[in-house]
């Protein structure tokens, strides 16, 4: 269409607009050339992958034979709600896998409920301390960032050794605990590691948030005769709310996806006491002797949904407390 | 009435007294917190260093705070006697450097297009980019493994005599670890925000001089965004150097392992040689630490930046 128009000499105006069009088209072409590497990777490893994972989640697939349509059976087996019902001793074995509902989900929730508040409060306290303009601040900041730059695998290997039965922790505190092989302690050891590695980074985010509060507000408050508790209660905490939201959300997503530490330190054991959702996906897809790709894909979508729901609830709660605080 | 005002004034004076007390003990308490946490942060690396300097036989023996007996055998073994260690170091370096260079270039290109050019579907593609950043990596792990490795259809798609492979066939290959990482949504987002924030005049002047988009990008835009590119490069390098789940999925033979995978495998195979693992751990940590100390400003800025932008 455009070609036929531009071939006919119909006055200056038309010619100008076709030149404009050509310029636009060439810019669009250039733009797509700039985007080419991204689009290739995005279409292959994001768009196609999500679509294919969604398809796989409705199939039964063990890599040896092609995926076989299974409908919602995969999701049913993952959720395995009948495992929650009381069962007779002589009942036939469950036709599903209760690892998610009995172990991975409760473990992940427990992990999140302990780690997220601990690391948020700890990093906030550290940020307050760092904000006091004390000496050696820069040295402290550097040191606090050390656990975050160290690779998760390396720090996990170090912790395995520190917390081994003959290890330094037991020697220092004169204990005799088999930290990583005892279902009572293994998960807490991993939680300690997680709080230890993330608090430094979160502290930096809080510190930036604290330093971002305009000094004019503090000055106005002191002119109005507010004492330090009131400043903390009515200025610092409300002003910090968006940062708290960010830190809690980041922490939440990180906790739901915890994998490296579990794989290296316990491989989900002992007695599945440290099996988390992210680890279970990997276990079903790559570690079990009978590969369950479809079931793992179904669980990965359940995980994505859980993360989404928690993020939304989180936002609600923090916004809700915001209106109470300012009232 | 009188009692009420009394109560109020009393309450204020109590809280004032509390503030006075807190003010006095504030500084020592904050110092105690800062120093206590600093000790905890240094301790694991310190013990790792001390015990990697002891012979294998003494890996659980006191003294805890000093390398007695002292020995360099672990470091000598890691560098020389165990040929897999240098191999892992090299693999890690190749993957991290290639991914970093590719990602910085491709993210800058895409970011520039999103920030400066007009093209169909721009809004849609940018929204898709933002959404893709929120999808957990576990969702794409399985299909990405199939695409990079064995293929979606085993043995390829057969149409008559023609067989079309449905995967890249990069199983147990460094290329398979590299490929999905050469662009990242976060990097594009970061570069787009940056290019939107800088003035256009310089580019417009260059365009007047007849320079094309590619000329402008490589001769003007890239040089003025070095700070941003360096920040992205540092974050990418750190992430790839420490990456675990994806290389673990793709790499299968010990010769092809990266250092984190190799260290974990070695720990499993030779449980009694934990001292070598500790020495090897330091080889994994040291390059990142050196880079961190040199470019600390960029690391801390980027972290503070993400907090503010999204918060």
How close is the nearest chain A Cα to the Cα of B3, in Å? 23
In a 10 Å sphere around its CB, with 0-12 CB exposed, 13-18 middle and 19+ buried, how is residue B193 labelled? middle
Place of tokens 């119909």: A10
Chain B residues closer than 8 Å to A30 by CB:
117, 212-214
Rounded to 5 degrees, φ, ψ at B157 are -85, 120
Domain A99-326 has CATH 1.20.1530.20: no
Rounded to 5 degrees, φ, ψ at A60 are -115, 125
> Which residue of chain B is at minimal alpha-carbon distance from A125?
B33
CB contact at 8 A, A187 and A269? no
Q: State whether B30 and A204 contact (CB < 8 Å).
A: no
> Which residue of chain A is at minimal alpha-carbon distance from B109?
A34
Q: Where are the alpha helices (DSSP H) in A57-178?
A: 73-79, 105-130, 137-149, 152-162, 168-172
Q: State whether A297 and B285 contact (CB < 8 Å).
A: no
Residue contacts between A and B (CB atoms, under 8 Å): 276
Chain A residues closer than 8 Å to B125 by CB:
35
Contacts of B113 (CB under 8 A, 6+ apart): A31, A32, A34, A35, B119
Residues of chain A with CATH 1.10.3720.10: 99-326
CB count in 10 Å sphere of residue B147: 23
How close is the nearest chain B Cα to the Cα of A90, in Å? 37
Q: Which two tokens stand for residue B264?
A: 């974990």
Q: State whether A278 and B146 contact (CB < 8 Å).
A: no
Q: Which two tokens stand for residue A154?
A: 């390396």
Chain B residues closer than 8 Å to A164 by CB:
60
CA separation for the pair B176, B171 (Å, rounded): 6
Q: What is the pLDDT of residue A318?
A: 66
| Pick from B23, B140, B277: CB nearest A45 | B140
Chain A residues closer than 8 Å to B241 by CB:
151
In a 10 Å sphere around its CB, with 0-12 CB exposed, 13-18 middle and 19+ buried, how is residue B7 labelled? exposed
Residue B96's SS3 state is helix
Place of tokens 């490795």: B149
CB count in 10 Å sphere of residue B2: 6
Q: Which two tokens stand for residue B103?
A: 């990602």
| Pick from B132, B185, B292: CB nearest A149 | B292
Q: State whether B117 and A140 contact (CB < 8 Å).
A: no
Q: State whether B136 and A303 contact (CB < 8 Å).
A: yes
> Which residue of chain A is at minimal alpha-carbon distance from B266?
A157
| Pick from A34, A242, A308: CB nearest B110 | A34
Chain A residues closer than 8 Å to B107 by CB:
38
CB contact at 8 A, B40 and A196? yes
Q: What is the pLDDT of residue A3?
A: 44
CB contact at 8 A, A187 and A110? yes
Contacts 24+ apart (CB under 8 A), B144-147: B144/A45, B144/A49, B144/B180, B144/B246, B145/A285, B145/A286, B145/B249, B145/B250, B146/A52, B147/A44, B147/A45, B147/A48, B147/A49
Chain A residues closer than 8 Å to B138 by CB:
257, 278, 281-282, 300, 303-304
Q: Where are the domains of chain B?
A: 23-71, 72-310
How close is the nearest chain B Cα to the Cα of A128, in Å? 8
> Which residue of chain A is at minimal alpha-carbon distance from B151?
A63
Q: What is the pLDDT of residue B11?
A: 57
- Look at residues A134, A183, A185, A146 and name the one whose alpha carbon lies nearest to residue A163: A185
> Which residue of chain A is at minimal alpha-carbon distance from B42?
A143
pLDDT digit string, tens, across residues A188-245 = 999 999 999 999 889 988 998 888 888 888 888 888 888 878 888 888 888 888 888 8
pTM of the complete model: 0.87
CA separation for the pair B126, B123 (Å, rounded): 5
How close is the nearest chain B Cα to the Cα of A14, in Å? 22
Q: State whether A155 and B44 contact (CB < 8 Å).
A: yes
How close is the nearest chain B Cα to the Cα of A84, in Å? 26
CB contact at 8 A, A157 and A266? no
> Which residue of chain B is at minimal alpha-carbon distance from A170?
B60
| Pick from A125, A151, A201: CB nearest B33 | A125
How close is the nearest chain A Cα to the Cα of B244, in Å? 7
| Pick from A32, A125, A200: CB nearest B119 | A32
> Which residue of chain B is at minimal alpha-carbon distance from A133?
B27
- Look at residues B227, B238, B228, B233 and name the one whose alpha carbon lies nearest to residue B289: B238
Chain A residues closer than 8 Å to B59 by CB:
161
> Which residue of chain B is at minimal alpha-carbon distance from A209?
B308
CA separation for the pair B246, A65 (Å, rounded): 24
Q: What is the pLDDT along chain B (311 residues), one digit of tens a residue?
A: 555 555 555 556 777 788 788 778 888 888 999 999 999 999 999 999 998 999 888 888 778 888 888 888 888 888 887 889 999 999 999 999 999 999 999 999 999 999 999 999 999 999 999 999 888 899 999 999 999 988 888 777 888 888 888 889 899 999 999 999 999 999 999 999 999 988 888 888 888 888 888 899 998 899 989 989 999 999 999 999 999 999 999 999 999 999 999 999 999 888 788 888 999 999 899 999 899 888 888 877 777 665 444 33
Q: What is the pLDDT of residue A325?
A: 37
Contacts 24+ apart (CB under 8 A), A314-322: A314/A245, A314/A248, A314/A249, A314/A252, A315/A245, A318/A241, A318/A244, A318/A245, A318/A248, A321/A241, A322/A238, A322/A241
Q: State whether A149 and B288 contact (CB < 8 Å).
A: yes
How close is the nearest chain B Cα to the Cα of A94, in Å? 26
> Which residue of chain A is at minimal alpha-carbon distance from B148?
A45
Low-confidence spans in chain A with pLDDT less than 50? 1-11, 322-327
How close is the nearest chain A Cα to the Cα of B228, in Å? 18
pLDDT digit string, tens, across residues A212-222 = 888 888 888 88
Chain B residues closer than 8 Å to A206 by CB:
307
How close is the nearest chain B Cα to the Cα of A297, in Å? 7
User: What's the fold here for domain B72-310?
Assistant: MetI-like fold (1.10.3720)
Q: Which two tokens stand for residue B143?
A: 């299909």
Q: State whether B140 and A50 contact (CB < 8 Å).
A: yes
CA separation for the pair A253, A36 (Å, rounded): 30
């Amino acid at each position: 269409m455009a070609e036929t128009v531009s071939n006919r000499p119909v006055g200056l105006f038309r010619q100008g607009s076709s030149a404009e069009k050509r310029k636009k088209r060439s810019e669009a072409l250039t733009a797509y050339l700039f985007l080419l590497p991204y689009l290739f990777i995005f279409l292959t490893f994001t768009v196609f992958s999500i679509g294919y994972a969604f398809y796989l989640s409705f199939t039964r697939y063990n890599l040896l034979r092609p995926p076989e349509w299974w409908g919602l059976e995969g999701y049913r087996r993952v959720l395995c709600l009948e495992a929650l019902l009381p069962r007779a001793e002589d009942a036939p074995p469950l036709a599903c896998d209760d690892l998610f509902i009995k172990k991975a989900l409760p473990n992940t929730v427990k992990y999140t409920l302990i780690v997220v508040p601990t690391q948020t409060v700890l990093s906030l306290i550290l940020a307050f301390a760092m904000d006091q303009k004390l000496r050696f601040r820069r040295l402290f900041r550097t040191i606090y960032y050390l656990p975050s730059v160290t690779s998760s695998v390396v720090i996990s290997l170090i912790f395995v050794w520190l917390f081994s039965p003959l290890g330094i922790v037991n020697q220092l505190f004169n204990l005799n605990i088999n930290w990583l092989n005892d279902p009572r302690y293994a998960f807490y050891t991993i939680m300690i590691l997680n709080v230890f590695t993330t608090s430094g980074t979160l502290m930096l985010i809080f510190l930036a948030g604290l330093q971002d509060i305009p000094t004019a507000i503090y000055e106005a408050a002191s002119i109005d005769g507010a004492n330090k508790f009131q400043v903390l209660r009515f200025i610092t905490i409300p002003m910090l709310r968006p940062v708290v939201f960010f830190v809690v959300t980041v922490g939440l997503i990180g906790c739901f996806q915890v994998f490296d530490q579990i794989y290296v330190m316990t491989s989900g054991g002992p007695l599945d006491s440290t099996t988390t959702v992210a680890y279970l996906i990997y276990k079903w897809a790559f570690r079990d002797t009978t590969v369950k790709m479809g079931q793992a894909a179904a669980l990965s979508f359940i995980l994505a949904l859980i993360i989404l729901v928690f993020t939304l609830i989180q936002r609600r709660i923090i916004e809700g407390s915001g209106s109470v605080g300012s009232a | 009435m009188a009692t009420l005002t009394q109560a109020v004034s009393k309450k204020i004076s109590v809280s004032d007294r509390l503030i006075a007390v807190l003010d006095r003990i504030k500084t020592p308490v904050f110092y105690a917190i800062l120093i206590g946490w600093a000790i905890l942060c240094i301790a694991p690396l310190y013990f790792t260093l001390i015990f990697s300097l002891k012979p294998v036989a003494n890996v659980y023996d006191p003294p805890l705070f000093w390398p007695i007996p002292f020995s360099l055998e672990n470091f000598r073994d890691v560098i020389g006697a165990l040929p897999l260690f240098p191999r892992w170091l090299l693999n890690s370096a190749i993957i991290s450097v290639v991914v970093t260079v590719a990602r910085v270039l491709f993210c800058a290109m895409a970011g520039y297009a999103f920030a400066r050019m007009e093209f169909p579907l721009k809004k849609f593609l940018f929204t898709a980019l933002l959404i893709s950043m929120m999808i957990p990596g576990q969702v794409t792990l399985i299909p990405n493994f199939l695409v990079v490795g064995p293929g979606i259809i085993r043995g390829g798609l057969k149409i008559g005599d023609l067989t079309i492979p449905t995967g890249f066939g990069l199983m147990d290959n460094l290329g398979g670890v590299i490929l999905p990482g050469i662009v990242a949504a976060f990097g594009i987002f970061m570069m787009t925000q940056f290019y939107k924030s800088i003035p256009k005049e310089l580019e417009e002047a260059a365009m007047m001089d007849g320079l094309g988009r590619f000329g402008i990008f490589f001769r003007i835009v890239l040089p003025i965004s070095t700070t941003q590119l360096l920040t992205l490069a540092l974050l990418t390098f750190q992430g790839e150097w420490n990456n675990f789940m994806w290389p673990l999925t793709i790499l299968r033979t010990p010769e092809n392992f990266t250092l984190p995978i190799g260290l974990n495998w070695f720990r499993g195979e030779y449980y009694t040689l934990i001292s070598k693992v500790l020495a090897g751990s330091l080889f994994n940590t040291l390059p990142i630490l050196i880079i961190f100390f040199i470019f600390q400003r960029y690391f801390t800025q980027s972290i503070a930046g993400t907090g503010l932008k999204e918060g």
